[in-house]
Amino acid sequence: MNDFTKEELQDLYDDIWTYDYKHRKPPDYILAIREKLQSMIENYCEHEEKILERPRMNIHMGKCKKCGIKL
């Protein structure tokens, strides 16, 4: 499940981008965080729930239709 919305991730990325302009060389950890945020934005999934039901086994679980993650 996503802890951040796509907009929140973009805001964080933008704030780090602004940091780059205020300082000549940002620390490596800042660049690493920015890369991770970019990856999270690119791979962000707006989950659409699909309910999987197996009545004989008494299983009713939700999975995302797009990425397959259990919800």
Q: Is residue 47 part of a domain?
A: yes
- For the chain, the 3-state helix, strand and coil shares in percent, each to the nearest 5, are 50, 20, 30
In angstroms, the CA 30 to CA 20 distance is 9
Q: Is residue 20 part of a domain?
A: yes
Model-level pTM? 0.64
What's the confidence (pLDDT) of residue 53?
A: 63
Q: Is residue 70 part of a domain?
A: no
| Residue 66 in this model has a pLDDT that exceeds 90 | no
Interval 2-61: pLDDT, tens: 688 999 999 999 888 776 666 667 788 888 999 999 999 998 988 777 776 666 666 667
What's the confidence (pLDDT) of residue 22?
A: 65
Q: Is residue 10 part of a domain?
A: yes
Record the tokens describing residue 25, joined without a space: 């060389």
Find the domain containing 42 and state its range. Answer: 6-64
| Domain total of the chain | 1
Q: Is residue 71 part of a domain?
A: no
CB-based contacts of 49, cutoff 8 Å, min separation 6: 62, 63, 64, 65, 71
How many CB atoms are located within 10 Å of the residue 9 CB?
Answer: 20
